[in-house]
Structure 1
Amino acid sequence: MGLLSQGSPLSWEETQRHADHVRRHGILQFLHIYHAVKDRHKDVLKWGDEVEYMLVSFDHENKKVHLVLSGEKVLETLQEKGERTNPNHPTLWRPEYGSYMIEGTPGQPYGGTMSEFNTVEANMRKRRKEATSILEENQALCTITSFPRLGCPGFTLPEYRPHPVEGGASKSLFFPDEAINKHPRFSTLTRNIRHRRGEKVVINVPIFKDKNTPSPFIETFPEDEEAARASKPDHIYMDAMGFGMGNCCLQVTFQACSISEARYLYDQLATICPIVMALSAASPFYRGYVSDIDCRWGVISASVDDRTREERGLEPLKNNHYRISKSRYDSIDSYLSKCGEKYNDIDLTIDKEIYEQLLQEGLDHLLAQHVAHLFIRDPLTLFEEKIHLDDANESDHFENIQSTNWQTMRFKPPPPNSDIGWRVEFRPMEVQLTDFENSAYVVFVVLLTRVILSYKLDFLIPLSKVDENMKVAQKRDAVLRDMFYFRKDICKAGGNAVVDGCGKAQNSTELAAEEYTLMSIDTIINGKEGVFPGLIPILNSYLENMEVDVDTRCSILNYLKLIKKRASGELMTVARWMREFIANHPDYKQDSVITDEMNYSLILKCNQIANELCECPELLGSAFRKVKYSGSKTDSSN
């Protein structure tokens, strides 16, 4: 979730008064880090995953399921039994936005050997078992991206009602503040985004038009003029940060051997983000309705959109400095490597003073504009005890801005005075139901980084086309129904030129247009003769040339088989499987409404699949299970 400072949070008005101070010292902190480690090389490959979980409670008698607001208590117990007792404990636990959420990571990063791939699933299983063991009867730890009835009356345990009129962080019609994690960062973020924006956030998700769905589908909010103005016909309306940050995701962070390698990986993986997002699609339901999208990305983007009306171009600039084209949670806006420069075709809003300062300090144009673009944003939270810092040895002001630019990729400088290297974070994936699936997506992305670096692959296309891909990737069944811009020849680049110089830039837009075309995800992942070799065949070729023990090779091939079959449509995405489950539920009236009992049936089934209490060949196939695990406390005899 980013920087978690402790202390006394300032109000938005107080934070705003210190905004220039935070930006100014954030840049100084970045420069201290940059000058100290810009020439650092030969850091070893390390990487790790982050899995976000929801805590749920099943009421088998009444056939209901609730989100349990016990995340802080569960987290405290896990940390006390784990890292506080043993610094080398194999799991780490951290807070997340929702009071019903926790985040788990491996206790130590994974290394560069191929055998590490065979430990990922075991560690994820350990996390699930560890957390499940301290839950109460009929409670479960679920890896679902979005809770279908989030924001519906009575969705939490204990139950709280939202207070849209009284003073509070979100003033939501649907999402009570009690569902927000009690760490002051989270409620402060919620409140300050609303204050900075000048109104509540607006999220409108297109509803899925089924046979009996009203047309037009219109919700009325007579008690709230703001909601009445903001909601749109044929859309599901939401009004709080919790509808986005209260969802779960799966992320991977890599340490590169140098800053140039990190910049190269950042660019190459940015083009992969929409492809993997569509492949991992897992969130088709919002606020008790069936939507017409499969991914949470646009929802979470809107949920933290703090831009004012001026910055969104709805009013002339008067009190603000910039028109800003995107939310602070969105796809990247510029490539960082020299080979990406010619594909930077998005107008980039930057703080020109910061940009000039960075150039004078010796940064190149691409990195300077990247940082100057991040720093057009205001800090959203500030703690009284963290205003005045030692810029040479602390980085809180830099991280304050950096960690609230939630983009598809994040370029991460080393922390000050640490042995950590330059890192990149891959952020677009939706969390999957099982540890096997989550391991498969993690291993696929990490293995892809190894192949990109080993074969010097080049996936770059104009960044505007990546943006278009991001929009397409969120559509219903995009993995099967839609086409994505992708580079035709990914093997043109040669030698270390890819990392350090990328050869001579071509300025011709016409030449660039010949380099990419529209492809299906099946073609991108599995290949098509005469069109594209396919990422899975390339990964398989790489594996054949590596020394890999039999068990590890078997695990990797199983993971790649899942990705291959999701791309071809032989196996469903989680989103498609959930849609089919609801469509076939005996209570479903083909009206796009998800009732309490339907929600209960779905989440119970998800939990049974996650704990291997039942098979799901439509989602997983038949040949993937290796180890029988049952840690569930929630199975119903009903």
Structure 2
Amino acid sequence: KVEYMLVKFDHEKKKVRLLLCGEEILQTLQDKGEKVNPNHPTLWRPEYGSYMIEGTPGQPYGGTMSEFNTVQDNMRKRRQEAASVLKENEAVCTVTSFPRLGCPGFTLPEHKPTPVEGGASKSLFFPDEAINKHPRFSTLTRNIRHRRGEKVVINVPIFKDKNTPSPFIETFPNDDGEAAKAAKPDYIYMDAMGFGMGNCCLQVTFQACSISEARYLYDQLATICPIVMALSAASPFYRGYVSDIDCRWGVISASVDDRTREERGLEPLKNNHYRISKSRYDSIDSYLSECGEKYNDIDLTIDKDIYEHLIKEGIDHLLAQHIAHLFIRDPLTLFEEKIHLDDANESDHFENIQSTNWQTMRFKPPPPNSDIGWRVEFRPMEVQLTDFENSAYVVFVVLLTRVILSYKLDFLIPLSKVDENMKMAQKRDAVRQGKFYFRKEICKGGNALVDGCGSAQNGTGTDTEEYTLMSIDTIINGKEGVFPGLIPILNSYLESMEVDVDTRCTILNYLKLIKKRASGELMTVARWMREFIAQHPDYKQDSVITDEMNYSLIWRCNQIAQGQAECPELLGVGFNKKQSGNKTGS
């Protein structure tokens, strides 16, 4: 699925604003599409922001190699469909985070934030009108804040440029004291769910052939999450400032952190049951496959009653603890008509908790009474500017799953190291500067079989020699004598497959993008955006992004997305093919 932002350009005033008409646009798209034709090639769904929509393919892709050739076509179709219902100077953008989100006048129509208890977010910056009007979204916002006992706190380090004040300290005129207490010197402070959930991402769900294959894929891909997140880095700007991070992950994590002070370990446990180490939006806390068990080195907080109930009913330890861990969270929203359900035939009660545990990977049991199987969702990617890039990342991850299953690859390392990688992946320019823990021997012959593991892996404890720190370039492209590289492995897999020339050409172009982003030859979106702002004539090297700078940046993003402007440093040479027309005069 791809998430989109709706924007409107004001070419006279050199401003771009988020358009709060997602609900109407969604209605129009559904009326023209799936409601008329159940086999329509696209599906549209609401997203958190009133300026957002989410698009998915109408049907799942098939399992043949030639399907890889249809991904970009479908994404292009979605972009064109959405653009076709917009008015002049309006556009649909795939930008991970809007640089001036939360700045005065960032929406159209313009609304002032109302930081009062009666509202949803009580934010100093993010007006409730920017939240999607569906009651689910404002209820989530209000209930997270109420459960937590205070507003959410997001602090992102400011990028220290030549003229950035040191220390960088802001004052907030309408503050009742909460912001002054929560904000930190040298950090950009944000106080609402919208600063996280109002960002756009790219996610992909796979269907496995069995529960054991799904569990195996879940574990293997969990180790890949931080690597692909760093490769897809696209969100360096927050609330009109240049930050010192390149990815939105930690921002979203903090934006929905409903843990109380007791649960966060700031006060002794009195009214709550557990100390909980992470927000409900974060990286996974336990592997699910037998091979993964010995790498589960994170203390897992679980609901013991639920765990024992599951064990008694014949669920194995690893799956039981996974579910019991999800259920340490409270429900955040519940519709009255969903309170009393037939749990034997409906899964809403499970999905209520499952869908508000937002983790790097999601393990998705089949819905009741349906022919859908066991699925695994890969969730850490930032959305890219063009359909070409987004297709490249999706195809890369899907190909990787095929190779993992065909070659029985094993990427497992202790889960605590994956968490360290997640922190590293969000840092500025992590693709070029960061080092990541990664497994050295990934081809263990027949050991990492899907249904349980060979004897060589059944020892307890893990060998510190199994993994080492590597650059993303080494992990993706390989390094003589150190690591074979994921792309060389994908290439040898492709050579062994029957692939038509056209599809192979498409895939090779995608892999070339990933390869060059990993080596630093091409920029990540985040680095490209930083350089664009740094070179803007209005930029004063003070980490501030003005309305006009924001306008120039988003306009350029829009031109690149439509193939009206080349961007060789981001995409390589020769990618300016005319792709789709938004109705935007210049």
Give yes or no for TM over 0.5.
Answer: yes
What residue number does 2:365 align with? 413
SS of the equivalent of 1:152 reads coil
The farther-off stretch of 221-230 and 199-208 is: 221-230
Note the C-alpha offset of 1:220. Answer: 1.6
Offset of residue 545 of structure 1: 0.5
Distance 1:148 1:163 in 2: 21
Tell me the secondary structure at the aligned position of residue 111 of structure 2: coil
The CA deviation string for residues 55-99 of structure 1, in whole angstroms up to 9 with x for no partner, is 000000000000000000000000000000000100000000000
Residue type of the alignment partner of 2:230: A
- From 375, 386, 389, the equivalent of 1:434 is 386
Cα distance in 2 between the residues matched to 1:379 and 1:503: 40
Q: CA–CA distance in 2 between the matches of 1:110 and 1:54? A: 25
Q: Partner letter of residue 522 of structure 2? A: L
Q: Runs of 4 or more off by more than 3 Å in structure 1?
A: 504-509
Tell whether the 8 Å contact from 1:493 to 1:502 is kept in structure 2 after alignment: no
- 1:209 & 1:292 partners in 2: Cα distance? 8
1:170 aligns with 2:116: no
Equivalent of 2:398, from 442, 446, 453? 446
- Corresponding residue of 2:75: 124
Q: How far does residue 374 in structure 1 lie from its aligned partner after superposition?
A: 0.3
Assess if the C-alpha contact under 8 Å between 2:303 and 2:328 holds in 1: yes
Aligned to 2:474: 523
Distance (whole Å) between structure 2 residues aligned to residue 117 and residue 385 of structure 1 = 41
Give the structure 2 partner of residue 489 of structure 1: 441
Q: Is the 8 A contact 1:218 1:232 kept in 2?
A: yes
For the pair 1:270 / 2:222, whether they are aligned, the reply is yes
Aligned residue among 83, 96, 104 for 1:145: 96
Whole-angstrom CA distance in 1 between matches of 2:330 and 2:398: 33
Paired residue for 2:198?
A: 246
- Percentage of pairs with the same residue: 88
State the match for 2:511 in structure 1: 560
Q: Is contact 1:274-1:469 (8 Å) kept?
A: yes
Q: Does 1:537 align with 2:506?
A: no
Query: Where does 1:123-522 land on structure 2 (aligned, <5 Å)?
Result: 123-221=74-172, 223-494=175-446, 498-504=449-455, 505-509=457-461, 511-522=462-473
What is the Cα deviation at residue 167 of structure 1?
A: 1.3
Please state how far the C-alpha of 1:508 moved relative to its aligned partner: 5.0
Q: Using the alignment, how far apart are the partners of 1:236 and 1:87 within structure 2?
A: 46
Q: Is the 8 A contact 1:51 1:249 kept in 2?
A: yes
Bigger shift: residues 215-224 or 386-395: 215-224
Query: Quick one: distance in 1 between partners of 2:314 and 2:212?
Result: 15
Query: Where do 5+ consecutive residues of structure 2 fail to align?
Result: none
Question: Structure 1, residues 226-271: CA drift from partner, whole Å, max 9, x if none?
Answer: 0000000000000000000000000000000000000000000000
Distance 1:342 1:623 in 2: 47
Q: 3-state DSSP class of the match of 1:443?
A: helix
Partner SS state of residue 199, structure 1: coil
RMSD: 0.9
Match of 1:633 among 572, 580, 583: 583
Counterpart position of 2:64: 113
Query: Could you give the per-residue CA deviations for residues 102-133 of structure 1, whole angstroms, max 9, x where no partner exists?
Result: 00001110011000000000000000001100
Cα deviation, residue 506, structure 1:
4.4
Letter in 1 for 2:418: V
How far apart, in 2, do the equivalents of 1:617 and 1:396 lie? 47
CA deviation map 1:443-489 (0-9, x unaligned): 00000000000000000000000000000000000000010000000
Distance 1:341 1:384 in 2: 39
SS in 2 for 1:173: coil
CA distance in 2, matches of 1:108, 1:396: 22
SS in 2 for 1:500: coil
Distance across 1 between alignment mates of 2:196 and 2:59: 29
1:566-598 CA-to-partner distances (Å, cap 9, x unmatched) read: 000000000000000000000000000000000
Deviates more, 1:259-268 or 1:387-396: 387-396
Q: Kindly indicate whether the alpha-carbon contact (under 8 Å) linking 1:265 and 1:449 is maintained by their aligned counterparts in 2.
A: yes
**Alignment length, in residue pairs?**
584
In the TM superposition, residue 507 of structure 1 has moved relative to its aligned partner by: 4.4
Greater Cα shift, 409-418 or 486-495: 486-495
Contact preservation (8 Å) 2:567, 2:575:
no
Alpha-carbon distance, 1:628 to partner: 2.5
Q: Give the deviation of 1:389 after TM superposition.
A: 0.3
Q: Does residue 94 in structure 1 map to residue 20 in structure 2?
A: no
- Compute the displacement of 1:405 (Å): 0.2
Per-residue Cα deviation, 1:266-311 (whole angstroms, up to 9, x for no partner): 0000000000000000000000000000000000000000000000
Shift in Å, 1:385: 1.1
Partners of 1:333 and 1:165 in 2: CA distance? 36
Structure 2: how far apart are the matches of 1:630 and 1:244? Answer: 29
CA distance in structure 1 between the aligned counterparts of 2:583 and 2:479, rounded to whole angstroms: 46
Shift in Å, 1:635: 3.6
Given that 2:411 and 2:442 are in contact with CA atoms closer than 8 Å, whether structure 1 keeps it comes out as yes
Q: Which amino acid aligns with 2:581?
A: G
**Cα gap change, 1:382 to 1:584, in 2 (>3 Å):** same
CA apart distance, 1:498: 1.9
**Residue identity in the other structure for 1:61:** E
Q: Which amino acid aligns with 2:266?
A: L
Secondary structure of 1:55's counterpart equals strand
Task: Confirm or deny: 8 A CA contact 1:97 1:246 kept in the other structure.
Answer: yes
d(CA) in 2 for partners of 1:587 and 1:502? 59
Contact 1:613–1:630 (8 Å) recurs in 2: no
Note the C-alpha offset of 1:623: 3.8
Corresponding residue to 2:10 among 38, 50, 59: 59
The alpha-carbon deviation at position 629 of structure 1 amounts to 2.1
**SS of residue paired to 2:418:** helix
Give the letter for the 2:70 counterpart.
T
Whether contact under 8 Å (1:281, 1:575) holds in the other structure is yes
Mapped to 2, the partners of 1:361 and 1:378 lie a distance apart of 23
**Cα distance in structure 1, aligned partners of 2:473 and 2:466:** 19
| Preserved CA contact (<8 Å) 2:76 2:580 | no
Contact 2:560-2:567 at 8 Å conserved across structures: yes
Question: Which residue, 604, 613, 616 being the options, matches 2:564?
Answer: 613
Q: State whether residues 566 and 575 of structure 2, in contact with CA within 8 Å, keep that contact through their aligned partners in structure 1.
A: no
Q: SS of the counterpart of 1:119? A: helix
Q: Deviations over 1:514-569 (max 9, x none)?
A: 10000000000000000000000000000000000011000000000000000000
